[in-house]
């Protein structure tokens, strides 16, 4: 059986109540994570706890290329029992109760509380610090209650996610992480990231777990101290992609041919169409989309589907954006040291480093 790729963060290893019941190739569990019994982790999933902790209950299901993460020194991620998460979803720095279903492509954002027995329908975005009352189905961006939901529908929807994952659970996501000597010494490329073609990473760049960067016949160039967060996909098959220095690309973002300037932040779960041009100093809100050839003018917070200017960037937002860049330089250094060290553990050889070396305590 495949085991997840696991690493400590600053000396703290993940804790497991038991080895995952099912685990897809390239799944990663990192840092200050406590994971309950009988978990199912789809291919390419990431559970990462560095600047805060992640605590997940029993019978957890995480669909292919989905991400669970925290807000640095602000919010942990806490998930109850019998929670099912679909594909390409993000559960970020929030609290989720028991018996919940979070469908494909959902983004749940910082400080939110999802009560017991909630269904969040595919493609929805739960805005920061929202409360989703138990016993309801939610949909939209922002997610709003659309109807009451019965426990039997919750169970049926959860089973559907489990069944959908079965076909892809063991799909190989291993790949070439790039030649180490092709990048500056302070670059971090996660062992479960996959880089293909001509990819140029400047000093201080971090490419986190599960990312896929495919330069095809073009070029992907990422500037100094930028960070590309877990399960982001950059596809240059229709033209090159340039990302400026000091820019943050959030979890589970999709980027196609285009340019992103310096000191920008592309929010979690955003989808940038071909030809998108993002100026310097842009904040694109989580879950946003752009249209082909759209330009996002600098100095603004943009958001929506498609994105539109919402407010001028103030000093508070600019400082928060810089804080993330600084945090990810620290994350990159810590994970690079752990990944290069003798204790790094992968699950590709069929052994069980979890059960043997890092039991639940």
Tens-digit pLDDT profile for residues 139-155: 999 999 999 999 999 99
Residue 308 main-chain phi, psi, to 5 deg: -140, 155
Q: Is 346 helix (H, G, I), strand (E, B) or coil?
A: coil
Give the span between the Cα atoms of 212 and 314, in whole angstroms: 33
Q: Look at residue 171 and tell me whether its pLDDT is greater than 90.
A: no
Alpha carbon of residue 354 to chain centroid: 22
What per-residue confidence (pLDDT) applies to 164? 75
| Of the candidates 54, 17, 62, 23, the residue with the CA atom closest to the CA atom of residue 37 | 17
Two tokens at 83? 């929670």
Class of domain 5-171: mainly beta
The mean pLDDT of 356-360, rounded to a whole number, is: 42
Higher pLDDT pick, 81 / 168: 81
What per-residue confidence (pLDDT) applies to 270? 98
pLDDT digits (tens, 9 = 90+) for 77-130: 999 999 999 999 999 999 999 999 999 999 999 999 999 999 999 999 999 999
Eight-class DSSP state of 9: B
Q: Look at residue 179 and tell me whether its pLDDT is greater than 70.
A: no
Most confident of the following: 160-169, 182-191, 344-353: 182-191
Q: Look at residue 170 and tell me whether its pLDDT is greater than 60.
A: no
Q: Which fold has domain 180-313?
A: UDP N-Acetylglucosamine Acyltransferase; domain 1 (2.160.10)
Query: 199: part of which helix (H) or strand (E)?
Result: strand 199-201
Eight-class DSSP state of 273: P
Name beta bridge partners: 45.
none
Q: Where in the chain is the domain with CATH 2.160.10.10?
A: 5-171, 180-313
Q: What percentage of the chain has pLDDT greater than the value 90? A: 87
């Amino acid at each position: 059986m495949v085991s997840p790729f696991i690493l400590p963060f600053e000396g703290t290893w993940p804790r497991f109540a038991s080895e995952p019941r099912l685990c897809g190739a390239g799944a990663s569990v990192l840092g200050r994570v406590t994971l309950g019994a009988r978990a199912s982790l789809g291919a390419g999933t990431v559970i990462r706890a560095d600047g805060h902790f992640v605590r997940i209950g029993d019978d957890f299901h995480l669909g292919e290329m989905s991400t669970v993460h925290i807000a640095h020194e602000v919010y942990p991620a806490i998930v109850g029992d019998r929670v099912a998460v679909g594909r390409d979803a993000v559960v970020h720095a929030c609290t989720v109760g028991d018996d919940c279903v979070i469908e494909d492509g959902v983004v749940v954002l910082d400080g939110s509380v999802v009560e017991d027995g909630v269904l969040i329908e595919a493609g929805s975005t739960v805005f920061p610090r929202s409360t989703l009352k138990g016993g309801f189905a939610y949909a939209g961006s922002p997610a709003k209650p659309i109807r009451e939901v019965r426990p039997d529908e919750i169970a049926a929807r959860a089973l559907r996610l489990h069944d959908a994952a079965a076909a892809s659970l063991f799909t190989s996501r291993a790949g070439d992480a790039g030649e180490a000597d092709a990048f500056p010494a302070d670059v971090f490329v996660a062992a479960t990231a996959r880089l293909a073609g001509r990819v140029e990473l400047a000093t201080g760049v971090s490419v986190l777990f599960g990312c896929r960067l495919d330069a095809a016949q073009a070029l992907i160039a990422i500037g100094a101290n930028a960070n590309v967060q877990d399960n982001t996909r950059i596809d240059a098959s229709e033209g090159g992609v340039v990302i400026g220095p000091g820019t943050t690309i959030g979890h589970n973002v999709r980027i196609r041919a285009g340019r992103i300037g310096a000191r920008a932040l592309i929010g979690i779960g955003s989808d940038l169409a071909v030809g998108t041009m993002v100026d310097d100093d842009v904040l694109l809100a989580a879950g946003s989309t752009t249209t082909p050839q759209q330009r996002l003018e600098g100095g603004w917070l943009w958001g929506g589907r498609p994105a539109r200017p919402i407010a001028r960037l103030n000093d508070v937002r600019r400082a928060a954006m810089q804080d993330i860049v600084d945090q990810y330089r620290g994350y990159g250094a810590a994970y690079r040291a752990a990944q290069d060290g003798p204790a790094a553990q992968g699950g590709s050889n069929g052994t069980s480093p979890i059960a043997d070396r890092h039991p639940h305590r």
